[in-house]
Structure 1
Amino acid sequence: MENSQETEPTFVIALAKQDKNSDDFVASLKETMPKVKVVRVKNSYKDLETIKEDIRLQWPVYEAQGAIIISTGISTSKNKVILTAQKFPENLKKLVQLKYGKDIEFEIDEKFVIPQPSGSAARFKKWNTLGGGIGISSSSGDCSTAATGTKNGVRFIITAGHCVKNNGGAVWQFENLSENFVGVQHFDARNSHGDRYGIDLGLVRITDTARTLSNYVLKNGTSGYDANFNSTGNFYEFQNICKAGITTDYTCGLVGSVSRDAKYTDGYTYKDVAQLDSFKSGETLAKPGDSGGTVWSGETLLGVISGVGTFTYAAKISYVPSLFGNDFQIKLN
């Protein structure tokens, strides 16, 4: 949407294909929405996705020739793929431009520094104050926590749905495992939109009355929480994000894709996940065990680590009201 000096906004639609059907569509749209502006572009979003993935597959080749790549992403406003790098040799840049032409644009950030994980053992300790980025263990596996919340006076931990797939099963923290009971697996939303198709969010119902809730996140702390969130929000393209989990600790990256469905090895297809790309090529933001961990930006909670592998995926925290009820309150202060 563009800003206008008039009181009504102008909506911009980009079309890569021009034929009778698209022309008729534009004519019909303009009749009902006079403020619509149609821009003809070379590439469809699918075309740009293809170019982006092709470039990503070439990262090891480029880096072997001296490039230090941060990320690849899509700019819909520029109708281009954006390759962001700390360093990209000029001779290599010319070769890439020769292949992709005006469909690619380079952004060089020589001052960029990749955040390093801390390897904090604190995630495995007993936490009487519950928050994000700490460990939980159950019959569903070892996972991480994203946040806490309440509904009708009942207290919960928010994690990934596949971390609580055995409803009613016990959940512990790691230190003194047999004595460190936290609660029970309560709700798995992975079937929320059909058989084996849904949102990978889940809840642990806290039954240990000695535990308290917080909006804290264990980022790099060794003896206490050292980050927090005070609001929830949505992912957007190229957004800087960070995550906290028990395996790879604190890592940061960019949002590579705001929305896609991802099929997992457990046979489920997780709906509308955000794809998160590491700042460091060849590495993922998360590994097994990080599932359920906090994904945030600044002091805004965005999601929960869902899938790991070539890409890292995050379930969106914005689904909480529709899945857990409008009266579910995420702890934000």
Structure 2
Amino acid sequence: MLYDLNVPWSSTQSPQELQRTISFLSELGYNTLALNHIHSGPLPSQITNQIPSPQPFTLPPKTTLLRRCTLTLIDPAQNYRLSVLASTYDILALRPTNEKAYLAACISLSEHSIISLDLTQRFPFHWKPKPLMTAINRGIRIEICYGQATGQESNARRNFISNTLAIVRATKGRGLVISSEAKSVLGVRAPADVLNLLGVWGLAKERGLESMGVNPRGVVINEGLKRTSWRGVIDVIDGGESEVVKPKPKEVESGKKGKRKQEEPNSGPPTISKRAAKRAKLLLQSSQAKEASSGSEAPAEASSQTTPAESESKPPSKLPIQAKS
């Protein structure tokens, strides 16, 4: 999969011309494209995405369109709202114009993912390996746009070639992103032509393939993780609004940990616990057993004891009379 993360966009550009550029890039094999809006000067109070979405024309099949903002960095102290700008667009790039802004973009600033350089200019500093490799080790990629060399004046083309040679020599071809920045269809080149052109400028073929596939893919994935995950671990997925389910009365009662409702006064006989009912039952059984035992002993005693009246009323017992011999 090939990437072109710098397709210029402007509000004055006709949609038909932009559609032709996107269609031609798709035919050449570029699957993921990024429309680039260049912003100069300090940031406004209300930051909005200037690139409309979706576009007023149909995209080619299997083509992903992203929105990118490139901020021209002059004084790093003035652009203190880069985090808001980064959250508004899919990709944020910085274009430093002096050495102070260049060092800040390589070492201190962290909201951007690409350092896009206008290599047609003559910079008053040298491309040293330490700042560039510091930015690459932090996950920031250095962008080289071949469209700056095509259709330009001889002086601008000479500056572009010298700057590209110095950057490739300082980075050894690592951490680069190759984009077109083609303002029309005529500035777009096929991947094989771009690799041959970069090979003339000192970039190996393997590094050239990485700068058109692996490195820009890492930029897109990292920027997506920044906006849809928490610390790159938990992915936040919008699943829509969930329906609010009201709990049933039984569920409400069962959620009270088995506590009984408070009894209202004069609502009936009070309820007792199982233990108290068992104790009352045992007491009742023991009392009934005592009453039964006391009732059986009383008739026996009554039969054994005679009253004085009964003894007087009884006739005397007749003794046997012995016969005289």
Q: What is the TM-score of this pair, normalised by structure 2?
A: 0.21
Greater C-alpha Rg: 2
Report the TM-score, using the length of structure 1 for normalisation.
Answer: 0.20
| Greater fraction helix | 2
**More strand, by proportion:** 1
